[in-house]
Structure 1
Amino acid sequence: MADTSASGSPSCVERLKSYVKTQKGFILAAEILVSFIVIICYASSVYGGYSALAICEMIFSMIFFGIFMMDLDKQILVINWVWTDLFRAGIGAVLYIITSLINFIGGSGDGARIAGAVFGLIAGLIFAYDTYTIFLQVKSNRQHSAAPTDGRV
């Protein structure tokens, strides 16, 4: 049998460990974890329908975590991954904050719904921070090209 540890490419677990240590990997892992906690809180609440947002955002975060971890964003060039991730995080932040405020205001007597709203606000802040870091990345990558200065109109 061939020795697989001597190969040049790192294993999936090694890539996972090294990617979670990066800032983007840590943010995505935090988004996944907090979304999972929100799913548990809303699922144990009387109003379980609010868990749909947390499920969708957790799945989207897991997809982007896998894409960025395996460097598929550098191989699949048809999609602009930075802008797609910016829209994902921005929409997630807005929806989490709105949904959490609705549940926090109207959740009297349902402790699981209140807990889901609190963790949803935390998730909204994490998604907003992710949006901010992606925006800074887009802003720094923008090339400022000078307009042509020839005399023609």
Structure 2
Amino acid sequence: MGDIEAPGPNGPRQAVLHSILPSKEFASSTKGMLLIAEVALSLVSFVCFAASTAAAFVTVPLLEFLAALFLLFAYSTKFNERFKGFLWPLMDFMRCVTASIIFFTISIIAVSRYSDGASKAAGVFGFIATIVFALDFYLIFNELANFLKQGGESHDEPSRQQDEFSDSDSD
């Protein structure tokens, strides 16, 4: 009765939904869009492989779906910032590299060896997933390279200052 803390009829459901879904800022970022595409393509590829005669390949899309879903949740809720002990970019990079290689391999096999439509569809979605995962690991690699380049420059600065200081002492 007039209690301020009493939620409306849709209050708790919307609060739970907003805590699970990624924020608009993250979902509109490049990393967010890539992770959402990876989740969607892995899920579609999983469903296609499950419905095809190439059902032996169903494990790869399922594992990649779960890994991409976990990272989507971790990045969107800033879970990764709470656990600094993990090397998140390196873990994400390795996930994307292995996913693109394995998706490419199973897609070639699904398209070339199996003749049913679901296997062909799984192969096509696998090729699209390969491109998305490859784009993701390319962007992660560029970020890591820029980070290391900036780190290298910051280490060079003290040695330059020491060289300038020693040059001025000798004058």
Question: 2:165 corresponds to which residue?
Answer: none
Instruction: Give me the CA root mean square deviation.
Output: 2.2
Q: CA deviation at 1:18?
A: 2.8
Q: Which has the higher helix share?
A: 2
TM-score, normalised with respect to structure 1: 0.86
Of residues 2, 5, 18, the one that matches 2:5 is 2
Structure possessing the higher radius of gyration over alpha carbons: 2
Q: CA deviation at 1:47?
A: 2.2
Question: 1:140 corresponds to which residue?
Answer: 146
Question: 2:91 corresponds to which residue?
Answer: 84
Structure 1 CA distance for aligned equivalents of residues 23 and 116 of structure 2: 37
User: 2:20 touches 2:73 (CA, 8 Å); kept in 1?
Assistant: no
Structure 1 CA distance for aligned equivalents of residues 21 and 93 of structure 2: 27
Structure 2 CA distance for aligned equivalents of residues 44 and 84 of structure 1: 31
Q: SS at 1:77's partner residue?
A: coil
Equivalence map 1:3-152=2 (5 Å) = 11-12=18-19, 15-107=22-114, 109-142=115-148, 143-144=151-152, 145-146=155-156
**Percent of matched pairs sharing the same residue:** 22
Give the counterpart letter for 1:140 in structure 2: N
TM-score, normalised with respect to structure 2: 0.77
Q: CA deviation at 1:2?
A: 2.8
Q: Deviations over 1:7-63 (max 9, x none)?
A: xxxx52674333211110110000000111111111111221211100000000001
Structure 2 CA distance for aligned equivalents of residues 21 and 3 of structure 1: 33
Q: Aligned pair in 2 of structure 1 residues 15, 37: CA closer, same or farther (>3 Å)? A: closer
Give the counterpart letter for 1:45 in structure 2: S
Which 5+ residue runs of structure 1 have no aligned equivalent? 6-10
Structure 2 CA distance for aligned equivalents of residues 148 and 129 of structure 1: 37
Question: 1:8 corresponds to which residue?
Answer: none
Question: 2:166 corresponds to which residue?
Answer: none
Alignment coverage as a number of residue pairs: 145
